[in-house]
Structure 1
Amino acid sequence: MKQVRQIARVLVGVAVLVGASAHAQEAELSPDIAATTQQLIDDALSDEVGLQFVEDLTTEVGARLAGSPDEARARVWAMNALKELNFDVTRVEDFTIPYWARTHESARVVGPNAQDLVITALGGSRATPDGGLEAEIVRFDSLSDLKAADAASLAGKIAFIDEHMYKTQNGAGYGLAVRKRSGCAKAAADKGGVACLIRSVGTQPHRMPHTGGMSREGALGALPAAALSGPDADQLTRLLARGPVRVNLDIGVEYADSAPSGNVIAEVEGSDLKDEIVLIGCHLDSWDLGTGAIDDGAGCGIVVGAAKLIADLPGKPRRTIRVVLYGSEEVGLFGGAAYARRHGDDLAQHVLAAESDFGAGRIWRFQSNFGEGAIPYADTIKSVLTPLGVSEGDNSAGGGPDIGVLSRAGVPVVTPGQDGRDYFDYHHTPDDTFDKIDPEDFRQNVAVYAAFTYIAAETGWDFRMSDAEMVGSD
């Protein structure tokens, strides 16, 4: 707490911390904004609203598969919860998506070493014939090896990609490992295969497979496809070392071309700059194996908790703060795309966007993506967050999955980077449950979001500013 108390001194002395820039004066915070930001941080570190939001969502609704009745129930629940929190505006913006759901799934080694394997179908998997399909397994170290294989070696067989995923703080290991999830079925089909198995895209050693979608368009994949838990992938590899292995794979699915979804929106209305939007978001849907606590109930609790702290201040912020609980992120970023379509004409009024969708680990780095003339503003915000243990990142933030479309349209974004070393132990598994959230780490997230959101809303700074537009430039 002593370290956090230093924030007030950092705020009022920020001109020094942003360096010797000729424009550092324009990045100073007023004493009033500095004091209010400090108070928001202090309050966030003992806040209960955000954490209660996650607990209630994951307890009273549970899993929220995109397009399902459970996701629809979550939208109703969220609307009621946000109204009870007295946000100025609450609404749902509806859209439709393709719908996929598993009905059953199993895999069993047949023959003299007969035994069950723990699997889960991948999103977009096709169904097997009634009773399943039985075929010989062909193992590959990577997706690249599968693509390079002789077609004759896979005809009528099941491809098995046994590529491992490794832990990283920023989640970079996921980007490498997830390629096999999206590519295996098509590559196997191209070689004449009848199905695809992959080692789960995850980092924990338990018999808990990770699901996830094969396509960002929500389309059915080329073949039946499933993920093996890590130990079962190891078991299958050991069996293959002893000779040929045949597996019966049985997957049932439901699919529809159109199902309802929607984005849930709440606002803290601004004052003199109320037509300008500071957007903070998360996604409300989840996969169906766990209760969607870290992915992404936590993100929703973080942004709701931060916005509620600002809403409870004595006066309105200058700009409107818009909280967006995106629908159907997991199966194709449909909520983000729907929001961009609906609000395409007023994206110029979106002055800043951020998304929490990487669990609830402590935020360790803060990246921006501002115009070059606005970098002193980023430096100011980063200096404010330093006493919370947040390091200064660069100016190449992506923002997050659902707001990526906003960033590409020119909306300035920030990425408060969470520590993701344990995230993929739980991500997309039955173990994604509320007990995996550390309350202290969660509240640090709320403090970070409350601080930068309030500064963005109250200062009126232009985060798109180019070098030529910098105040005091020639």
Structure 2
Amino acid sequence: MTILPSETVGDAYTDSTAWELLADLSDLGDRMPGHEGEAAGASLVADAFEDAGLDEVSTTEFPIPGWWRGDASLTVDRGDRTASFGGSHELVELPGTPSGEVTGRIVDMGYGLPEDFEDVDLSGRIAMASSLTPDDYGRWVHRSEKYDYAAESGAEGFLFYNHIEGSLPPTGDVGHTNGPGPIPAVGLSKELGSRLARHCEAVEGDRGVEATLSVEARNEPATSANVEAVVGPDTDEEVLYTAHVDAHDVGVGANDNGFGSALVVGVGRALASIEDDLETRVRLVVFGAEETGLYGSYYWSHTHDLDRVKCVLNVDGAGYSRDLEIYPHGASGLGAAFEEVSDEFDVPIAVEDGLRPHSDHWPFAQRGVAAAQGRSTAEDSGRGWGHTHGDTLDKLDIRDLRELTVLCAAGVAKLAEADREVDGRDPASVKAETVAEGHDVGMKATDTWPWGEDRPWPWADELQ
């Protein structure tokens, strides 16, 4: 049983290298996939890998559909007066939106659940939906799912409003495989969304209030990159510890997912100090272009031999606290390693059931590889400031980063034990569970269902 030596733990609790990387990533500002800031972030991670003494540091580029934001505005005509909104605290474009100007009545679709759109004709309308999914619904309904339901129902524009007070308008991708989605789309603050919902309720007769949505955006091919390094012996199997370096351009992406990238470097430094004790090679990978479609992890998983991957631990959404959660997606042995870590350090680590198919572990998990997501939570955190202008360094704590570095390094070291069995799953059972949890509804609606006969995994044609 591998236990981190006290010297490694002490160094991790006093080292500031990973935090300094996080600050540098945050200071880049725009790390949108395909933008200069994302490339600069990848370079910073590569340098940090080198400084940590890791081996085989490399950067691999791959193509993606790129997107650049322009101006956006929403003008609402209530008949007796007109109000215009265009400030960044009010609305932001959703990446993957096309350019366009549309005029029509706003129709509030509430939560934007599949049943909310059944038998609804939104022709000539602008659909509006909340970012909230009710706790008792059984699964999370993704933003892009609500967007595609709106477009399929005939809507000519889409408004996605935050359900969290004071957290500014949310961004997030709505693009399709080969480029932009079908209709202009923006995210709205909770305050503006509530105001428009009130206006819609006040309208008698025909549904909604008249508005004009104007969006300017540039969609064209771009390039992203994965950065990786290894530590430990040259073995047939490898344990992958991963995160993503890209972030939405409306903020600085401190938590999502600069924190995860910093964790990968911190864990790499810790494992380098016990390299001679590792029994299986550990590969540290920081993916690009997660936010616009998991392009980096799909590219990696389909350009490498997955038979060599013993297991994957992907960290995304870990900056909320030091309370670590592990979602092993039913892979036996993965959660057990972290239960041992919990006992050894006498700190709580939650091992949770269920699938989380919206981050870089998913391209591995759907193909049967033992793959987990690591994250942390705080009370009522939800997405919090993620995907908004407010995702900044000042909301994070170096103590959380240090503790999670220790816990993740300890868990990865255990997963690297030669005699520790970590079994993957039959992809058919993953597919069945995906259906049982209702995720297939959203994936099919957004054309990301990976088990179709014509396309065995999303974006195959684009990445081959």
Q: Shorter-chain TM-score: what band?
A: 0.7 to 0.9
Q: Which residue of 2 aligns with 1:383?
A: 340
C-alpha distance in 2, partners of 1:253/1:427? 22
Task: Go from structure 1 to structure 2 and tell me whether the alpha carbon gap of 1:216 and 1:323 turns closer, same or farther (over 3 Å shift).
Answer: farther
**2:200 partner amino acid:** L
| CA distances 1:421-458 after superposition (whole Å, capped 9, x unpaired) | 32522111001111111222222211111101122224
Alpha-carbon distance in 2 for matches of 1:359, 1:99:
27
Judging changes above 3 Å, is the alpha-carbon distance between structure 1 residues 173 and 325 closer, same or farther for their aligned structure 2 residues?
A: farther
SS of corresponding position for 1:263: strand
The answer on whether the counterparts of 1:399 and 1:415 sit within 8 Å (CA) in structure 2 is no
User: Partners of 1:400 and 1:195 in 2: how far apart?
Assistant: 24
Structure 1, 307-316 or 431-440: larger mean CA deviation: 307-316
Report the alpha carbon displacement of residue 158 of structure 1 after superposing the two structures with TM. 1.4
1:354 is displaced (CA, Å) by 0.3
Question: 5+ unaligned residues in a row in structure 2: which ranges?
Answer: 426-464
Which AA in structure 1 matches 2:145? G
Structure-to-structure mapping, 1:245-324, within 5 angstroms = 245-256=209-220, 258-268=221-231, 270-271=232-233, 273-313=234-274, 315=276, 317-324=278-285
Equivalent residue number for residue 294 of structure 2: 333
More helix by share: 1
Structure 1 residue matching 2:237: 3-state secondary structure: strand
Match in the other structure for 2:406: 447
1:44 and 2:12 are equivalent in the alignment: yes
Q: Find out whether 1:140 has 2:99 as its counterpart.
A: no
Quick one: distance in 2 between partners of 1:212 and 1:161? 14
Q: CA deviation at 1:306?
A: 1.1
8 A contact 1:40–1:450 mirrored in 2:
no
Matched residue SS, 2:96: coil
Partner of 1:237: 197
**Ranges in structure 1 where 5+ consecutive residues have no aligned partner:** 1-28, 467-474
Tell me if the contact between 2:239 and 2:283 (Cα under 8 Å) persists in the aligned partners: yes
Map of 2:365 onto structure 1: 407
Q: Which has the larger radius of gyration?
A: 1
- Residue among 123, 128, 136 paired with 1:160: 128
Aligned partner letter, 1:237:
A
Match of 1:53 in 2: 21
Q: Distance in 2 between matches of 1:88 and 1:183?
A: 41
From 127, 133, 144, the equivalent of 2:99 is 127
Asked whether the equivalents of residues 104 and 253 of structure 1 are also in contact (C-alpha less than 8 Å), the reply is: yes
Are the structure 2 counterparts of residues 447 and 397 from structure 1 closer, same or farther at C-alpha, using a change threshold of 3 Å?
A: farther
Matched, 1:187 2:155: no
- Mapped contact 1:407–1:413 kept (Cα < 8 A): yes
Shift in alpha-carbon separation, 1:255–1:447, aligned structure 2, 3 A: same
Q: Distance in 2 between matches of 1:140 and 1:409?
A: 35
Matched residues in 1 for 2:198 and 2:21: separation?
45
Residue 73 of structure 2: SS of its match in structure 1? Answer: strand
8 Å CA contact 1:82, 1:266 repeated in 2: yes
Secondary structure, aligned partner of 1:295: helix
- Contact kept, 8 Å, 1:306 with 1:446, in 2: the verdict is yes
For 2:366 and 2:416, how far apart are their aligned partners in 1?
22
Within the candidate set 380, 385, 392, 1:433 is matched to 392
Partner Cα distance (1:380, 1:434) in 2? 31
1:57-68 counterparts in 2 under 5 A? 57-59=25-27, 61-68=28-35
Question: Cα offset for 1:388?
Answer: 4.9
Change (3 A) 1:209 1:165: farther
C-alpha root-mean-square deviation of aligned residues, in Å?
A: 2.8
User: CA offset at residue 226 of structure 1?
Assistant: 1.4
Across the two proteins, how many residue pairs are aligned to each other? 412
1:464 aligns with 2:423: yes
8 Å Cα contact 1:101-1:254 kept in structure 2:
yes
Deviations 1:335-394 (A, max 9, x none): 011001111x2x22222210110131223434445765xx4x853541222335224525
Structure 1 counterpart of 2:45: 78
CA distance in 1 between counterparts of 2:167 and 2:285 reads: 35
Q: For residues 371 and 294 of structure 1, do their structure 2 counterparts lie closer, same or farther at Cα, with a shift above 3 Å needed? A: closer
Contact 1:218 1:331 in 2 (8 A): no
1:77-133 per-position Cα deviation (integer Å, ceiling 9, x unaligned): 3223322332222101111011122111111223433223321112221211xxx33
Distance 1:383 1:457 in 2: 14
TM-score, normalisation: structure 2 = 0.80
Q: Tell me, yes or no, if the aligned pair for 2:341 and 2:407 is still in contact at 8 Å.
A: no
Counterpart check, 1:212 vs 2:175 = no
State the 1:311 CA deviation: 0.8
Q: How many angstroms does 1:199 deviate by?
A: 1.8
Q: Which amino acid aligns with 2:47?
A: N
Give the direction of change, closer, same or farther, for the CA distance of 1:285–1:426 in structure 2 (3 Å limit): same
Give the 3 Å change call, closer, same or farther, for CA 225–266 of structure 1 in structure 2: same
Query: When the two structures are superposed, what TM-score results if normalisation uses the length of structure 1?
Result: 0.79
Corresponding residue for 1:108?
75
Aligned partner letter, 1:229:
S
- Inter-partner Cα distance in structure 1 for 2:416 and 2:388: 37
CA distance, structure 1, for counterparts of residue 127 and residue 335 of structure 2: 48
Q: Aligned equivalents of 1:434 and 1:218: distance in 2? A: 33
Q: Secondary structure at the match of 2:192?
A: helix
